[in-house]
């Protein structure tokens, strides 16, 4: 049995983006602490936090018929919510454009995988 909602569940997308945004911001704020605890952990911290935030955003699929697309959009929305804060803290957007592009691609891939997994899990529970 598959979900019979819209291709993208707007309410779940907003919830997912908001929760993913929270994970991304808290993780980035804890980055200096992680670097101080262990240099190796500090190197990988932002990548781990990014993956966690995108997974959290992508798994909130609700009743979306296309959970992979829904997950990718939720992860991208979570990243988009961080852009104004990055601009305030980090200077001009031209210096951050490449990092934002790579993060967006990474977020869409991770969000799509998480959304697809969450959608399959949701559908198997309803069978």
Return d(Cα 51, Cα 55) in angstroms, integer: 6
Over the stretch 41-69, which tens digit does the pLDDT of each residue have?
988 999 999 999 999 999 999 889 999 99
Q: How far is CA 24 from CA 4, 13, 72, in A?
A: 31, 16, 16
Percent of the chain with pLDDT over 90: 68
Enter the tokens of residue 118: 């969450």
Return d(Cα 127, Cα 120) in angstroms, integer: 11
Q: How far is CA 95 from CA 23, 62, 113, 116, in A?
A: 24, 36, 29, 33
pLDDT given for residue 4 in this prediction? 62
Global confidence as pTM: 0.88
């Amino acid at each position: 049995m598959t979900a019979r909602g819209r291709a993208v569940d707007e309410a779940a997308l907003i919830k997912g983006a908001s929760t993913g945004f929270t994970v991304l911001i808290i993780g980035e704020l804890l980055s200096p602490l992680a670097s101080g605890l262990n240099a190796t952990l500090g190197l990988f911290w932002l990548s781990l936090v990014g993956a966690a935030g995108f997974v959290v955003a992508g798994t909130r699929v609700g009743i979306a018929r296309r959970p992979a697309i829904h997950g990718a959009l939720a992860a991208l929305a979570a990243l988009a919510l961080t852009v104004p804060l990055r601009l305030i803290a980090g200077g001009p957007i031209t210096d951050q454009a490449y990092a934002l592009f790579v993060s967006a691609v990474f977020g869409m891939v991770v969000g799509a995988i998480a959304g697809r997994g969450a959608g399959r899990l949701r559908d198997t529970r309803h069978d």
